[in-house]
Structure 1
Amino acid sequence: MKHLAALLATLTIVLLCPKTSWAQDFGDGSFDTMGSGLTSNDSIARGLKKSTWGRDTSQVEHFVPTEYKQWRIDERLGTMLPEVYNDTLPHLFQNFNNTDGYLGEYNILGNLGSPRMARNFLDRELTDNLMFIQPFDYFHTTPGNLLFTNTKSPLTNLQYHKCGTKENGQDRLRAYFATNINKRTGLGFKADYLYARGYYNSQANSQFGGTLFGYYQGDHYGIHAMASWEHMKMAENGGIESDTYITNPESFPRSYNSTDIPTVLSSLWNRNDHQTIYLTHHYNLGKYHDIEVPDSLKPVMPTDGELLMRIQNDSLRTVIMADTLRCDSTLDSLRIQWQNEQMPPREFIPITSIVHTFHFRRLMHVNYSRSNLPENYFSHDPYIRSSYGNYEDETTAISAKNTVAVQLREGFNKWAKAGISLYAAHEYNRFKLPSLQTTDDVNNYDYWNEHHISAGGEISKTQGRTLHYNAGAEIYVVGPMAGDLDIHGGGDLNFRLFKDTVRFEANAFFKNLRAPFYFDHFQSQTVWWDNELDREQHVRVEGKLTLERTNTTLRFGMENISNYQYLGMHLTPNLDANGNITSYAHDISVMQQSGSIQVLSASLRQKIHWGIFHWDNEIIWQHTTNSDVLPLPTLSIYTNPYIAFHIAKVLRVELGVDMRYFTSYYAPDYSPFVGMYATQDPTQPRVKIGNWPILNGYANFAIKRVRGYINVTHFNAGSGNAFWAPHYPIDPLSIHFGISWNFYD
């Protein structure tokens, strides 16, 4: 309640405070120039400077421009991509800090900052060589998701999100700053700190990230650069000991709070330290083109008197003005000089670009324990040290990639309807894993070094309003990945239909990929495998239809996967003297499904509004031909009825209740020893989650540059199948609040 009172007090102060410079209320600027008997406009007309003598300048309200534009870039070649999403909007701000996503579309472990996995298969990223960072994509900054900003005034955004108490609270503080040195050059930074203790035992998360970025956009030369550092530490509890604490709490002789429920593990942690350095720059070869200006906008020839004022010598000017013939001759020369000075506006048309991109990443993943883990929790003996107690396993992955490209730019003449790019890349990878020679006192490591060379090309059309498209291919020709092939293409068509604007998008790709390094090799105290996996093939076709007037979006897709690679759990029953199962011993490995798996998906997103009443909906249908290997929920639903209105014409308010729901399915389990999700063991009894609505009630507000929310989450908590992942329950009812403030000075 203290936090709620503080938030309401802040809102009251904002409503009642007088107009200031940040409120964008400005005076008319009509002040008299003291002692001259003239207005400021008269003074300017005579070339006199405005004087502030005798004025109280503290009463002047200065104009602070707040316009800015943002964009993202393509990681491979640094192409600027237009950014249409603006996260300063108040709508759905109450979901901004949710690890489970804006629409509850991810499986998580319950706590803020936990690893997550998309339930919609078409939204999942393919596993890469630095796979341990992928479940943290909501926190992890990449060159592709970083927002670059061009702003007329220094822009600062501060956010604070809070929930819970000192014992179970969740806190997140975010800061974003951007400024421009000039119209072409900008720089900034972002910082993100998260600490969540968690409503269940041994699930605390601590994360910190910082990013510096900058850019320059010249006619000939341009550059974008960023450097980021991220630290993520997660306590692992292995889930609760019995799901009955959640599904049927009445079966126990007493009631249990979330912190009273025992968990499987209590002294195990995972840690990720990740650094990124990225630079992309290009040099443009091209020509300047004169811009045709309408006569109404062309500069007007100065008067004779104004032309003669160009003569700096007063005596000479007086002599010339006294001689009519000399004056006429001088004026003719001054007119010619003025005309020569009037250069028409020009724009630079790039024809060819030479591009270089450098992308460096380093990830250190650590799994460690500070005391003995439960007896018989593993189905094998320790791989490296003498016991499972007090160990620390570290693996490091380094990737350094250089890409050079030559581009023939789109639109440099009327025949160049598309742009063409040809590129080649070299990638160096280095991996470090614990060795069998490691002892309890001395750490030893095995190393792998890889060099890869690839070549590719792209063709794209981005200009115009009706049709856009892109297509490309990349093949690896040298190194362990030689033979990998990626062919992709997409486009969109925009047209009018009756009184509506229709946008149809289509995308497709074919990928023939070697397994990620950690799918082939992994060595640690608890997990060990060496595989020779066949290449995995993906064929996907996807389309999306958007009707702007009716706020309707239809999305459909199909994917065929051959030789599907995945992580799978293995459980071995532990039996008592009577042959009864008391617990299960755990293991995890990489598995491969021979043959093909098909995934079909269709979704509808519909927004409805009438007056102050609004209703946002999304429904996703999925079908998989092998639910044991690739489990997916048949239906996922998000619905959000709310009312939106203004108070005193300045305070925008949204009041609503949103719901997340997905049908029950054998969702992937979570392995605390690799920090990744894995399919449940089909040879042992499995657990279904889902078929439980998650209801949140919220209030959003926005006034001038301030946004805020109060969100009561999971207010329908009770006995039921309330789990985000197998054995990881949804947090009980809790109150969240947050605030975001923009500054432009």
Structure 2
Amino acid sequence: MRKIIFIVLWITVCVSESMAQARVILPDSLQVTPRQAPHDHQHEMEEPFDTVNLVLPAATVWYLHPRSGDRLVAAMDTLKHNYQQTTIPDGYSVAGGYLGPIGSPFISKIFFEQDETSHFPFYDAYRPYNKSPEQHLFYNTRVPYANLTYQTAGSRPVKEQRLKALLTTNFGKRLNAGIEGDLISAKGLYRSQENKHNDWSLFGNYLSDKFESHLLASTSTVKQFENGGITDERFILDPESVGENFSTGDIPVKFTNTWNKMKTNHLFFSGKYNIGYNDRSADSLGSGKFVPVASLVITSHYTGQDRRFLSYDTAQVTIEGQAMQRIDQFYTNRYYNTAVDDSVTFSSFKNSVALSLREGFKPWVKFGLTGYIEHEVRNFSMIDSVGGNIGRSKHRENSLFIGGILNKQQGEHFRFNLQANLGMAGADLGEVNLEGEVETAFNLAGKRTELSGHAYLRNITPNYLQKHYHSKYFWWDKELEDVRRAFVGGRLHIPFTNTTVNAGVENLQNYIYFDQERTVAQHAPNVQVLTAGVDQNIRLGVFNWDNRVVYQTSSNQEVIPVPSLSVYSNMYLKALIVNELTFQFGVDAHYHTTYFSPGYEPALLQFYNQREKEIGNYPIATVYANMHLKQTRFFVMLYNAASAVLKPREYFSLPNYPVNPMMFKMGLSVDLHN
């Protein structure tokens, strides 16, 4: 069925490409500000979006701020350089942990890249694949635009595939609509490791001088088969010692016939009404150019999520004289005796109203100001024990926030963004978030050098599923204190040496995490985390050597474990052939020093702090060729190539979870637009 849908989509793309369309001009009121990356603690403010002198590409692309309704400019997905790295889990961070195949749960081992725990934490492990409204791209196109991307690795029956498709077009100069799909099917080279993702979204926007609106409807399903990890590391570290021929599918694992299922639905709407005047001096022959002075923004966002953990690994075994189901032997507690069937549902309905004063509507107005009020209703449901039977408990809570944004995003030499919000009532009463960013630029050796700083102060109320969770193997109801976080950091980019330096330090109090017992714990004393990083790119003709080095230290490695040193190094040759084909050939590697990396618990779909096994001191390397010809990108890759020459083969990403052995991968991405 999925193949049929994509064939229909492909035919639609081809038909739309063959139809001539009049050129679409964006409305004069388009005000797009630089995107502030929400998860990067060394934020990089991009160049201002000049709506006067800009020569528009085939499509203009932006993210949408969920509260202010501001459009945050983003780059088109047309990356030529290192395209192959965007197709593997390792490419999401300098150092990351995952279960092996693409689409499996992932955690960054760089602490400042880890997000706050969400209200539905089971989906946090899939953040690289998440399609929330804050991460969704909106378009305004001159001509129909489409992108088709396909990647594959391995052979049947362990094939790994990902297929992505995007089609968007304008209907006149004001209305845009699009559809996007992202399908992942990874069988997994190890037993009981298959995962499937089906993500679909419909989106659109309407832009005029006085009214702007955005709409997104998306659905995502994930089915993750769980094996609990391998039980004998000799099959990876020293396969010769096993004394027999075997495939990765023969390596014993903890359990089978067990899986997590998740579903997420989003319905998001944002409407902005602009109040302003017509400037006749800009258009003396007509009614004048519309200049927005203030805006009224209304936003609604519904989220529905559910997660189910099931196991048919119920064969009876006897452990230390006690009869139990086979999967039960891996857990200390059992709160009911039937087969595992845990489920949690969550829904949220969030509405906000904002009033903003626009930056630059007069020469003396040097900044923009936005104030907002936001209300959210959340519903939770999970299993509970009622009269000896397993029933369900339900919980509803409300939250009310007020906040403001003060920013200056125009100008070349000084920009800033200050945000504050306060929980005024309900479950988040007393929550505080104060955050600021500032950027300046100056000339150094004739080059524009950028210096930026970022700081925040947060008082965070624990969410409901951190305080309460009920399942067969884990059951807790806890009183947790507010988490306090204070961070300050900065970034310096030196263009004439192609160097970027960043550093940051954070103090955390009442930090919440999963401990060695795989249950929620809170550490009251202060913990400090320091990070410093250097990006250094070297160019000598066709020879290139890109490096990113991150140093981290934690004052308490049992609470916040981090590797001391993480490195991504990429050495390659890059040349333009016959003025058409860009060819890149090289070898790269991700590496970090040994440390007690997080463990993964399938029954919670969470990463936890373990002190049994150190991971690291082994490069995950690839040999690749990356090509770009006009509107087509193509790569071939030999993944985990170091395992062919290095012994022992310690290619574990997480304890008991090795990455895939050496395998061939390839991918293709085609952009289509008139």
TM, length-normalised to structure 1: 0.79
Q: In structure 1, which of residues 734, 737, 743 is the aligned counterpart of residue 663 of structure 2?
A: 734
1:650 aligns to what? 580
Distance 1:68 1:456 in 2: 33
User: Which is further off, 351-360 or 555-564?
Assistant: 351-360
1:693 aligns with: 619
Distance in 2 separating the partners of 1:678 and 1:371: 23
**Alignment correspondent of 2:7:** none
| Cα distance in 1 between the residues matched to 2:555 and 2:661 | 35
Write 1 or 2 for the structure with the bigger share of strand: 2
Contact 1:188 1:213 in 2 (8 A): yes
- State the distance in 2 between where 1:288 and 1:494 align: 34
Provide the residue aligned with 2:648 in structure 1.
719
CA change 1:237–1:596 in 2 (3 A) is same
Per the alignment, residue 228 of structure 2 pairs with 238
TM-fit CA distance, 1:438: 9.2
- Provide the rounded CA distance (Å) in 1 between the counterparts of 2:306 and 2:583: 44
1:609 aligns with 2:561: no
Partner of 2:317: none
- The equivalent residue for 1:529 is 476
Partner of 1:151: 141
Q: 2 CA distance for matches of 1:103 and 1:274?
A: 25
Equivalent positions of 1:66-77 (< 5 A) are 67-77=58-68
Aligned to 1:453: 400
1:261 paired residue among 251, 262, 269: 251
Q: 1:166 aligns with which of 138, 141, 156?
A: 156
Q: CA deviation at 1:551?
A: 2.1
Q: How far is 1:269 from its partner?
A: 0.5
Aligned to 2:549: 619
* Cross-structure match for 1:111: 101
Q: Is the 8 A contact 1:100 1:116 kept in 2?
A: no
1:205 corresponds to 2:168: no
RMSD: 1.9
Q: Distance in 2 between matches of 1:100 and 1:503?
A: 28
Q: Distance in 1 between matches of 2:114 and 2:221?
A: 23
Instruction: Give how far 1:346 is off.
Output: 2.7
Deviations 1:504-542 (A, max 9, x none): 111111110111211100011221110100110010111
1:417 corresponds to which residue?
366
Match in the other structure for 1:590: 520
Match of 1:367 in 2: 309
- Structure-2 residue corresponding to 1:52: none
Mapped contact 2:623–2:637 kept (Cα < 8 A) = yes
- Whether the 8 Å CA contact 2:545–2:571 is kept in 1: the answer is yes
The 1-side partners of 2:230 and 2:306 are apart by: 28
Residue of 494, 499, 502 corresponding to 1:555: 502
Alignment of 1:639-678 (within 5 A): 639-678=569-608
> 1:407 matched to which residue of 2?
356
**TM-superposed deviation, 1:472:** 1.8
Deviation at 1:443, TM superposition (A): 6.4
Shift, 1:379, TM fit = 4.5
Amino acid at match of 2:381: K
TM-aligned CA distance change 1:345 to 1:672, over 3 Å? same
What SS class does the counterpart of residue 101 from structure 1 fall into? helix
Aligned partners of 1:226 and 1:279 also within 8 Å? yes
Query: 2:255–2:313: 8 Å Cα contact kept in structure 1?
Result: no
Specify the SS of the correspondent of 1:628: coil
SS of match in other structure, 1:122: helix
Q: Which residue of 2 aligns with 1:129?
A: 119
The CA distance in 2 between the partners of 1:549 and 1:711, in whole Å, is: 32
Counterpart secondary structure, 1:444 = strand
Match of 2:265 in 1: 275
Q: What is the alpha-carbon distance in structure 1 between the residues aligned to residue 387 and residue 670 of structure 2?
A: 51
**How far is the alpha carbon of 1:382 from its aligned partner?**
2.3
Percent identity, aligned pairs only? 31
Q: Is the 8 A contact 1:699 1:710 kept in 2?
A: yes
SS at match of 2:515: strand
The answer to whether 1:508 aligns with 2:455 is yes
Distance 2:471 2:157 in 1: 33
Residue of structure 1 aligned with 2:69, choices 78, 82, 86: 78
Number of equivalent positions: 609
* C-alpha distance in 1 between matches for 2:94 and 2:165: 24
1:426-462, Cα deviation, whole Å (9 max, x unpaired): 11000000121498xx963110000111111111111
After superposition, the Cα gap between the structure-2 partners of 1:379 and 1:366, relative to the gap in structure 1 and judged at 3 Å, is closer
| Aligned residue among 422, 435, 449 for 2:384 | 435
Distance 1:205 1:177 in 2: 26
User: Partners of 2:187 and 2:93 in 1: how far apart?
Assistant: 24
Q: Which residue of 1 aligns with 2:45?
A: none
Secondary structure of the equivalent of 2:262? strand
> Is the radius of gyration larger for structure 1 or structure 2?
1
Kept in 1, the 8 Å contact 2:333–2:474? The answer is no
Q: CA deviation at 1:593?
A: 0.7
User: Partners in 2 of 1:510 and 1:237 — Cα distance?
Assistant: 40
Q: Give the aligned residue type for 1:364.
A: D
Pairing of 1:458-477 with structure 2 (within 5 A): 458-477=405-424
Residue 92 of structure 1 is matched in structure 2 by 82
Structure 1 CA distance, aligned partners of 2:489 and 2:246? 47
**Residue in 2 that maps onto 1:638:** 568
Give how far 1:255 is off. 4.2
Give the Cα separation in 1 of the matches to 2:442 and 2:72.
22
Residue 466 of structure 1: how far off its partner (Å): 1.2
8 A Cα contact 2:328 2:334, kept in partner? no
User: Which residue in 1 is equivalent to 2:334?
Assistant: 382
CA distance in 2, matches of 1:126, 1:467: 29
Distance 2:427 2:621 in 1: 49
* Compared CA separation, residues 69 and 714, structure 1 to 2 (3 A): same
1:345 Cα shift?
Answer: 7.2
Distance 2:512 2:90 in 1: 25
CA distance in 1, matches of 2:279, 2:238: 75
The answer as to whether partners of 1:520 and 1:532 remain within 8 angstroms in 2 is yes
Which letter maps to 1:525?
Answer: K
Contact 2:313-2:327 at 8 Å conserved across structures: no
- Structure 1 residues 561 and 661: CA distance shift in structure 2, 3 A: same
